[in-house]
Amino acid sequence: MPLVAANWKMNPTNLDDALDLARGILSVARGHASSIEVAIMPPFPWLVGVSEVLDGSGVKLGAQDCFWEMKGAYTGEVSPAMIQGLCQWVIVGHSERRVYLGETDEMVAKKTAAALSCELGVIMCVGELADHYDAGTSDQVVTAQVKADLANCSADDSARLVIAYEPVWAIGTGKSADPEHAYKTMRLIRKVVAEMIGAGAARKVRILYGGSVNSKNVQQYVELPLCDGVLVGSASLDAEEFQHIIKVTAEVYGHR
Ligand code: PEP
């Protein structure tokens, strides 16, 4: 089943707006819940409120990050055990955390293992920087990231593992990737995943595209043969935009 995930990042800035946005998304998402999986990732303080809006709808809830330990003296961190039961998904390794907070592949691998051990689904983000893209080294960079980030994973994790290919130069910039580049990189990711956890298991791992997806360009990504959905940032903050993304995705996968 395709996955359409909304990464709200550090938005909206108050609970009422978050609940309104969740209700707006839900009004369309609930009608497609049997054919596409929709997941909303609000900031931590809005998780409980949004979970009440989504309750019983089939629309999933996720966190934008988690720590790799379950409890203890880690000021400011939130453990997977704390969000287990509230969330079904968690994002790890988002490029904004890698760039602004120095998150490394080793940390991403530990977070992934910890989240999976708590029965959470993991959306692991990988993608090259603009410099890598310009230098033609995207393949090497993404291969190294996927190998390092999957270091603690096994075939048993495949059903709850999603890899989002997000070229960093395409995130929040309005410069979405050429679908051909996205396709080739997603094909490469699947090959690397197969090397890491076996070909059979790799087929179950879903691979998303992310990076300036909106209602106008979403079709060209979800139509790609290897694409299992999209991770959407800015456009998920506009209920109508995101509703349209859900409808287009449902339509494309309905014809597969
Ligand atoms: C993201 O935050 O994962 C993302 C893809 O952002 P945007 O859609 O704004 O590029």
**39: which strand partners?**
5, 60
Quote the ligand 1 centre to 233 CA distance (angstroms).
3
Angle at 110 between CA 73 and CA 118, to 5 degrees: 80
Per-residue confidence (pLDDT) for residue 125, from 0 to 100: 98
Distance of CA 27 to the CA centre of its chain: 21
Joined tokens for residue 191: 């090959």
Q: What is the identity of the amino acid at 53?
A: V
Quickly list H helices, the chain.
Answer: 15-29, 47-54, 80-83, 95-101, 105-117, 130-135, 138-149, 179-197, 199-204, 218-222, 239-254
Report how far residue 217's alpha carbon sits from residue 231's, in angstroms, rounded to the nearest whole number.
13
Per-residue confidence (pLDDT) for residue 256, from 0 to 100: 74
Q: Are 164 and 121 in contact (CB under 8 A)?
A: no
Q: What is the pTM of this model?
A: 0.97
- Report the chain (256 residues): mean pLDDT per 10 consecutive residues: 97 98 96 93 98 96 98 98 97 97 98 97 97 95 98 92 96 92 97 95 96 96 96 98 97 86
Catalytic residue among 32, 37, 94, 103: 94
Q: Are 123 and 91 in contact (CB under 8 A)?
A: yes
Joined tokens for residue 78: 């939130």
Location of structure tokens 């303080």: 45
Quote the ligand 1 centre to 205 CA distance (angstroms).
21
Whether residue 232 has its Cβ less than 6 Å from ligand 1: yes
**210: which strand partners?**
231
- What is the per-residue pLDDT across 169-195, written as a single tens digit (0 to 9) for each? 999 898 989 999 999 999 999 999 999
Whether residue 213 has its Cβ less than 6 Å from ligand 1: yes
Please provide residue 161's backbone torsions phi and psi, each rounded to the nearest 5 degrees.
-110, 130
- What is the per-residue pLDDT across 206-233, written as a single tens digit (0 to 9) for each? 999 999 999 999 999 999 998 999 999 9
Angle at 230 between CA 226 and CA 234, to 5 degrees: 155
Per-residue confidence (pLDDT) for residue 55, from 0 to 100: 96
Ligand 1, closest atom to CA 232?
8
Angle at 47 between CA 30 and CA 236, to 5 degrees: 55
166 tagged catalytic = yes
Q: Is the dihedral of CA 247, 251, 253, 254 positive or negative?
A: positive
Per-residue confidence (pLDDT) for residue 176, from 0 to 100: 87
User: Following DSSP, what letter does each residue of 50-104 receive, concatenated?
Assistant: HHHHHTTSS-EEEES---SSSSSS-TT---HHHHBTTBSEEEES-HHHHHHH---
Joined tokens for residue 187: 């094909």
128 tagged catalytic = no
Residues 6 or more apart from 38 whose CB is under 8 A from it?
3, 4, 5, 6, 25, 29, 32, 59, 60, 246
Ligand 1, closest atom to CA 213?
8
